[in-house]
Amino acid sequence: MPRVVIIGAGPGGLSCAIALKRKYGFDNFTIYERGGEVGGTWRASLFGASSDVSVAFYSLSTDLRDWKGSHGSQKELLDYWVDLAKKYNLYPHILLNHAVKSVEWDTTNNHYHIVAEDASTGKSSSSTAEIVISAIGVLDTPRFARIPGLDTFKGAKFHSARWDSSVELRGKRVGVIGNGSSATQFVPQIAKDPEVRIIQFCRTPSWLLPDNRVQYSQTTRWILRNIPFMMRLYRWILFMRKNFTNYIKSNAPKKYVDKLVPTYPLACKRLVIDTDYLRALHQPNLDINWDGIDRIVEDGILTKKGIEHIPLDVIIFATGYAADFYPLHVRGKTHTIQEYYEQELGQRHTLAQLFPTSELLYDFWFVFRPNTVTGHTSAIFTNEVQRKVSSLEVKLSATDAYNDKIQALLNNSVWAGCISWYRVGGDGKISSLFPGPALRFWLWLRKPDWRHFSGIFKQRLQLLLRVLIFSGLLALGASRMEMFRAIQTKAFPLARSLLESVSKQKSRIIG
């Protein structure tokens, strides 16, 4: 039986492991997780984030839950994934605090060589696997802004994705850099304390949508829990619905309205649910600075407006994630993943999330990687859809054709109209997004086109051989007509008399 290694125990890695166990009864796998617990994003996001997609849809279709409200808090989502890891007995398969450092294909022995480091001892260990599944996430590596003087700042500084709870914010002047989903979610939270003085440095505004999150009433929860298919119906409604409303003008403080209404097309960057942000902007302890950062100095930030000095004690970087490169060293037959991407001018989609093997890698799978993010719907849904595709080898020609097709669609889409983490270097090739809605993603991945996969030929050959052998056996049986007739004359009358007695019994009962 081949051994499978999964890298990452976030929602992607865990749902893969669950599928291996549930669907295929396969359990010869190990999950390497760099952190001390499962849950990925929902373990790491300590700033009180919550899902911006309704949790009824942002959860596995196989494991619906009695959620308290429409959107899951960080704690609820972490609990959900921890519970699933327990339910499917995954912990014995998981090596926590183990970061995979490299994966290399061993051409002599036809398996991968995996090197991991134990965070508690610093020791390296190695293992082998025939199949490797990369589930290391897209929004995992924090990106600090490239601002001159970053290292000169003497106060406390941290990234929103690595929230440092040991830094006391009360009584401090806190600079926040960024205006995306992360900043707009934590700024109102820290602004609740009037003793925290916040200056938010913004460059580009986000499209903010009204918050449609609600806590379910007891009746709604009862209906979703007890009426068959109600939760599934609700998931479908969420899947089909679109809600784009611009309400910034009527809710933002007048002095910011002009700056806060984006000039780029709606949905070019990820839409941001307004979790109390516009209301918080009316507070006296929160100001936005739009002047642009010139550089960071020992005790604050110098803006571009006549080199104005803004003194600060703490800087929080809400400057997003490095989603445009693959951070892990993986060497296949001929290339590393980085070399392949460089050659292709950035990350590119690999059909069925499998690399074109004859050229590069063998049985190296991706969960949630290039061109699979579907704008504003659930990443868990796209994870589940990807798992329905299975194969052995994807052809390079098919990969090229598919990439040409999606890049043509993306280049003419709304996402080509602004700078975002969806693109290489912010303004290059659109390497994260899938070109269309989740419905199209589902339709395209619903059935694999077997002409794209060369390994399928082997499977079909095996099937053909089985059919031939079976037909041969049948022919052999038929040639033994004597035996066949004997069975016919003895077994058939017996079956007929049995049937007759059953139908007599039945007509007696009926009446």
Ligand X SMILES: Cc1cc2nc3c(=O)[nH]c(=O)nc-3n(C[C@H](O)[C@H](O)[C@H](O)COP(=O)(O)OP(=O)(O)OC[C@H]3O[C@@H](n4cnc5c(N)ncnc54)[C@H](O)[C@@H]3O)c2cc1C
Residue ranges in contact with ligand NAP by CB under 6 A: 49, 51-52, 139, 145, 147, 177-183, 185, 201, 203-204, 270, 293, 318-321, 419, 421
Tell me how far, at minimum, the Cβ of 474 lies from ligand X, in Å: 49
Nearest approach in angstroms of CB 269 to ligand NAP is 6
At which residue do the structure tokens 């260990």 appear?
125
The span from the CA of 419 to the CA of 200, in Å, is: 20
CA distance 379 to 510: 55
For tokens 């994966």, name the residue: 103
Partner interacting with residue 178 (select from ligand NAP, ligand X, none; CB below 5-8 Å by kind): ligand NAP
Q: Is residue 134 a contact residue for ligand X (CB under 6 A)?
A: no
Please write down the HEC assignment for all residues of 347-392: CCCCHHHECCCCCCCCCEEECCCCCCECCCCCHHHHHHHHHCCCCC
Stretch that binds ligand X, among 6-14, 86-94, 279-287, 433-441 (CB under 6 A): 6-14
Distance CA 229, CA 244 (A): 28
- Which stretch, 43-51, 123-131, 192-200, 409-417, contacts ligand X (CB under 6 A)? 43-51
Tell me the closest approach of the beta carbon of residue 127 to ligand X, in angstroms: 13
Contact between 139 and ligand X per CB under 6 A: yes
User: Residues 422-441, buried b or exposed e (16+ Cβ, 10 A)?
Assistant: bbbeeeebbbbbbbbbbeeb
Which phi-psi region, left, alpha or beta, contains residue 37 (left: φ > 0; alpha: ψ -120 to 50)? beta
CA-CA distance, 272 to 254, in Å (whole number)? 20
CB of 380 to ligand NAP, least distance (A): 12
Q: For the packed helices 218-226 and 230-240, what is the interaxial angle rounded to 10 degrees?
A: 100
Compute the distance between CA of residue 41 and CA of residue 49 in angstroms, rounded to an integer: 10
User: Least Å distance between CB 51 and ligand X?
Assistant: 3
Q: Is 286 in the site for ligand X (CB under 6 A)?
A: no
CA distance linking residue 414 with residue 244, whole number of Å = 14
Partner from ligand X, ligand NAP, none contacting 41, C-beta within 5 to 8 A by type: ligand X
Residues 301-340 touching ligand X, rule: CB under 6 A, are: 328
Percent of the chain as helix, strand, coil, to the nearest 5: 40, 20, 45
256 binds, among ligand NAP, ligand X, none (CB under 5 to 8 A by kind): none
If one asks whether residue 46 binds ligand X (CB under 6 A), the answer comes out as no
Q: How far apart are CA 117 and CA 36, in angstroms?
A: 13
Min CB(204)–ligand NAP separation in Å: 3
The secondary element (H helix, E strand) that includes residue 255 is helix 254-260
Residue 208 binds which entry of ligand X, ligand NAP, none, CB below 5-8 Å type-dependent: none
Instruction: Report the partner that residue 145 touches, choosing among ligand X, ligand NAP, none (CB closer than 5 to 8 A by kind).
Output: ligand NAP
100 binds, among ligand X, ligand NAP, none (CB under 5 to 8 A by kind): ligand X
Query: Of ligand NAP, ligand X, none, which one does residue 8 interact with (CB within 5 to 8 Å by kind)?
Result: ligand X
Q: For the CB of residue 150, give the shortest distance to ligand NAP in the complex, in Å.
A: 10
In sign, the C-alpha dihedral spanning 180, 181, 187, 190 is negative
Give whichever of 60 and 315 is closer to ligand NAP, judged by the CB atom.
Answer: 315
Of 85, 135, 272, 314, which one interacts with ligand X (CB under 6 A)?
A: 135
Strand segments, DSSP code E, in 160-299 are 173-177, 197-201, 208-209, 272-273, 286-289, 293-297
Q: Which is closer to ligand NAP, CB of 205 or CB of 356? A: 205
Task: Report if residue 209 touches ligand X, rule: CB under 6 A.
Answer: no
What is the C-alpha to C-alpha distance for residues 43 and 35, in angstroms, rounded to an integer?
8
User: For residues 134 and 367, is the Cβ–Cβ distance under 8 A?
Assistant: yes
Query: Is 40 a binder of ligand X (CB under 6 A)?
Result: yes
Q: Phi, psi (5° rounding) for residue 201?
A: -95, 110
31 binds, options ligand X, ligand NAP, none, Cβ within 5 to 8 A by partner type: none
Quick check: 9 binds ligand X (CB under 6 A)?
Answer: yes
Structure token pair of residue 488: 């016919």
74 binds, among ligand X, ligand NAP, none (CB under 5 to 8 A by kind): none
Task: Using the minimum distance from each CB to ligand X, give the nearer residue, 164 or 449.
Answer: 164
User: Nearer to ligand X by C-beta: 42 or 201?
Assistant: 42
In this complex, which beta carbon is closest to ligand X, that of residue 352 or of residue 367? 367
| Sites of contact with ligand X (CB under 6 A) | 7-13, 32-35, 40-41, 45, 49, 51-53, 58, 99-100, 135-137, 139-140, 328, 367-368, 378-379
